[in-house]
Amino acid sequence: MRVVSGIQPTGNLHLGNYLGAIRNWVRMQDAMKEGQECYFFLADLHAISMPHDPAELKSGTLEMAAALLACGIDPARSTLFNQAQVPAHVELQWLLNGTARMGWLNRMTQFKDKSGKNREGASAALFTYPVLQAADVLLYQATHVPVGEDQKQHLELARDIATKFNHDYAPKNEIGEEAPVFTLPEPINPPQAARIMSLRDGSKKMSKSDVSEMSRIELVDNADTIMKKIKKAKTDPEPLPSEEAGLAGRPEALNLVTIYAALSDSSIDAVLADFGGEGFGKFKPALGELMIETLSPISQRLRDLLDDPEEIDAILARGAAKARESAAPTLADAYRALGLLRH
Ligand code: TYM
């Protein structure tokens, strides 16, 4: 079993990233057995697909690394690094660009969302970004990739690219059997890994690119800010129903109950068994308290870690050295399979 996943170091880690992905990274790391491995990285190369400020990217990379450590990623057990220190990611992306089809990339909803009406003005990197994402996981022969719902399409593309590459180029033995160059990765999204929506609009995912800070809870938010954001979260005037079906057509209410269920590791029905019939005047403070209780140890650790940026830098350098070493054989196999001469 090899677990690989990444996060863009743009903006602060928010509740959606935490409940949708990072908490599972930590759980998978903690459940790892002898011979199994986890690779977690900051997708800094992905971050240049959108307009960005170089100084912010640099500080954001260290801050996001600190946030992952604060959430429980342990560099003694997981390999933690940033892509830019492992050139094999970019090399493999180019090799896979020969296999990825324009039609496949044209279907990616994230490109459509992020380019919006300005498709012609979007960077070429934004369009080919999913190929880099495929390289990120195929390079390490990932078997499992913990991601939120929104990244599943990219993972399916990675599987399509791996399948076609193996089919077209993998060496065959005398009886025609393929020795696949790449393992097909499985996306992992356990049911308690919720899709967390914006606090201002229950139809949009919680995102670091949303202009309104009130739309998201960040891991650096203090207790007062968290409570204020929860109390101001958009809702409707109805009391909570006692079963999940009663949340149909009430996206904001569903989102808050989903967050409560994810934070308390229970189900939506269990939360509604406790709060059914109550109004938001009672539910929101309870949710705010639960969130503060869960997030405050993380934000405390985060503040401590940020006091020592050199240590974070050293952790990333050690992780990158390990990642370069484990990426090398697959990259060499990919060059060889394509008939590229390289010694
Ligand atoms: P990114 O940086 O947008 O998000 C990191 C992880 O957080 C999840 N996530 C959410 N989950 C639930 N609710 C939300 N509102 C929410 N917002 C974000 C994402 O699904 C993701 O798992 N392209 C990726 C980074 C990446 C990557 C990879 C991931 C690059 N290479 C290889 C896995 C494997 C991204 O932009 O995620």
DSSP string, 290-315: HHHHHHHHHHHHHHHHHT-HHHHHHH
Question: Cα of 205 to ligand 1 centre, how many Å?
Answer: 11
* Residues in contact with ligand 1 (CB, 6 Å cut-off): 5-8, 16-17, 20-21, 43, 46, 133, 136-137, 145, 147-148, 150-151, 195-196, 205-207
Catalytic residue status for 234: no
Q: What integer pLDDT is reported at residue 10 of this predicted model?
A: 87
| 3-state SS track over 199-243 | CCCCCCECCCCCCCHHHCCECCCCHHHHHHHHHHCCCCCCCCCCC
The active-site residue, picked from 114, 164, 234, 322, is 114
Q: What is the pLDDT of residue 12?
A: 85
Is residue 117 part of the annotated active site? The answer reads: no
**What pLDDT score does 314 carry?**
98
Per-residue tokens: 84: 């830019």
Tokens of 241: 């129903």
The two counts, helices (H) then strands (E), for the chain are 14, 5
208 is catalytic: yes
186-188/37-42 β-pairing: unpaired
Question: Ligand 1: which of 73, 150, 256 to mutate, judged by most atoms within 8 Å of the beta carbon?
Answer: 150
Angle in degrees, 0-180, between the axes of helices 88-97 and 309-337, rounded to the nearest 10 = 30
Per-residue pLDDT reduced to its tens digit, 27-50: 999 999 989 999 999 999 999 999
Mean pLDDT taken over the chain: 95
Using CA atoms, how far residue 153 sits from 109, 114, 281, in Å, is 8, 15, 38
Task: State in Å: Cα 309 to ligand 1 middle.
Answer: 24
Indicate the SS3 state at residue 281: helix
- Given a contact cutoff of 8 angstroms between Cβ atoms, the answer to whether 193 and 23 are in contact is yes
Give the percent of the chain with pLDDT over 90. Answer: 89
Token pair belonging to 157? 């593309």
Q: How remote is the CA of residue 117 from the centroid of ligand 1, in Å?
A: 23
> What's the confidence (pLDDT) of residue 151?
93
pLDDT in tens, 9-23: 988 899 999 998 899
Give the angle 34-305-18 at the CA atoms, nearest 5°. 65
Mean pLDDT within 260-281: 95
**343 pLDDT above the threshold of 90:** no
Q: Whose CA is nearest to atom 24 of ligand 1?
A: 7
Each residue of 191-224: pLDDT tens digit? 666 789 999 999 999 999 899 999 999 999 999 9
Q: If DSSP codes are grouped into helix, strand and coil, which group holds residue 140?
A: coil
How confident is the model over 151-173, as a mean pLDDT? 95
pLDDT digits (tens, 9 = 90+) for 83-99: 999 999 999 999 999 99
CA distance 275 to 242: 7
Per-residue pLDDT tens for 276-334? 999 999 999 999 999 999 999 999 999 999 999 999 999 999 999 999 999 999 999 99
- Quote the pLDDT of residue 192: 66
Residue closest by Cα to atom 5 of ligand 1: 7
pLDDT average, residue stretch 230-234: 97
Active-site residue identified among 58, 208, 231, 284: 208
Angstrom CA distances, 257 to 263, 298, 337, stand at: 10, 22, 50
On whether the CB atoms of residues 256 and 284 are closer than 8 A, the answer is yes
Integer distance in angstroms from the first to the last C-alpha of the chain? Answer: 30
Query: Residue range 165-178: average pLDDT?
Result: 89
- Give 153: exposed, middle or buried? Use CB within 10 Å, 0-12, 13-18, 19+: middle
Å from CA of 147 to ligand 1 middle: 6
Q: What is the CA radius of gyration of the chain?
A: 21
Place 172 in a pLDDT band, splitting at 50, 70 and 90: confident
Cα 151 to middle of ligand 1, angstroms: 6
